[in-house]
Structure 1
Amino acid sequence: MGLLDNLLGNGGQAASLMGVASDLLDKVGGVQGLVQVLQQHGLGEQVQSWIGTGENQPVSGSALGQALDKAGLGNLVQEAASKVGMDPDTLLGHLSDLLPAAINHLTPNGQTPEAGASSGGLDLGSLAGLASKFLSK
């Protein structure tokens, strides 16, 4: 399956979810910024596992929502949920599944990309596939 098939396979929700993740990365200054925000607001151990080479620790949608709220990004979640036609809890649930895999993918050598690099070598095809995988659960 190609990128287009992945994006359309879930009624465009995978594309919407990737758009939300991309907006979040842009808002906080890329992967390094998101990692710092989540570490500073209670998810340090989980985030470190996503960067490292071991197994990714899970994060709940509510814990992710609390961290983003503490960082002043709660409005972004509300706006994004409205834009994609999901309630915020559902969106956070999908993001809590997607972000560990995405950050792991974007930090293959256990290093975050330079500050301001929103994509860090972002492979949209594989990340869209990740989004589709999590939406089909």
Structure 2
Amino acid sequence: MGLFDNAVPGGNITKPLMIALGALLVGKMLGGGGSAQQQAPEPAAPDNTGADGGLLGGLGGLLDKLKDAGHGQVADSWVGTGQNQTIDPGSLGKALGPQVIREIAARTGLDEQELLKQLSNALPGVVDKLTPNGQVPPRNQLESLFGN
């Protein structure tokens, strides 16, 4: 997980957080173990898997969701150069939506509040690392970073 080691406060990404990030950004790890079988759409939420991966359509879909929820300036700070702005767990939860949060919490074994706390701490640094030139990378590049 070397790429992400310095992306979050404290330096290390735990396995549940990596599963959550993978579910949001690339659609992998939705079943919790990382096997190829998990690429199939989830029956409980077939409309949530975006064409570019992830529950919200990959990294681009996540950024769009944040912008749609009024957090465009925050999301842009993660992609662009300069200081990353923070997002509080409650705002992140509202932007992602309760169904997405419930699904990721179930997959990771974290309760929803802990999941949102960890994601709000990790996402600014992770998105910043994934977009070093201010560009959202293609899905296959994201997938390779998550080891799938």
TM-score of the aligned structures, taking structure 1 as reference length:
0.70
Matched, 1:21 2:49: no
Partner of 2:116: 92
Matched, 1:68 2:90: no
Distance 2:140 2:117 in 1: 22
Matched, 1:50 2:78: yes
Contact 1:30 1:119 in 2 (8 A): no
Distance 1:118 1:60 in 2: 30
Matched, 1:123 2:133: no
Q: How many residues align?
A: 110
Could you list the per-position Cα deviations for residues 86-129 of structure 1 after superposition, in whole angstroms to 9, with x for gaps in the alignment?
22111101000111111101100111224xx165375348xxxx
Could you list the per-position Cα deviations for residues 48-91 of structure 1 after superposition, in whole angstroms to 9, with x for gaps in the alignment?
0000110000000001001112xxxx222113223333221111
Contact 1:31 1:119 in 2 (8 A): no
TM-score of the aligned structures, taking structure 2 as reference length:
0.65
Instruction: Give the superposed CA RMSD.
Output: 2.4
2:128 to 96, 101, 104: 104
Partner of 1:130: none
Partner-residue secondary structure (3-state), 2:14: helix
Contact 2:22 2:146 in 1 (8 A): no
Runs of 4+ aligned residues of structure 1 deviating over 2 Å after TM superposition are: 82-86, 118-125
Gaps of 5+ in 2: 6-12, 26-53
Partner-residue secondary structure (3-state), 1:64: helix
2:62 to 28, 34, 41: 34
Contact 2:63 2:75 in 1 (8 A): yes
Percent identity over the alignment is 36
Distance 2:71 2:95 in 1: 7
Which shows bigger deviation, 79-88 or 38-47? Answer: 79-88
The structure with the greater share of residues assigned to helix is: 1
**Amino acid of the residue matched to residue 17 of structure 2?**
L
Gaps of 5+ in 1: 7-12, 126-137
Q: Aligned-pair distance for 1:31?
A: 1.2
Q: Relative to structure 1, is the Cα distance of residues 37 and 118 closer, same or farther in structure 2, using a 3 angstrom cutoff?
A: farther
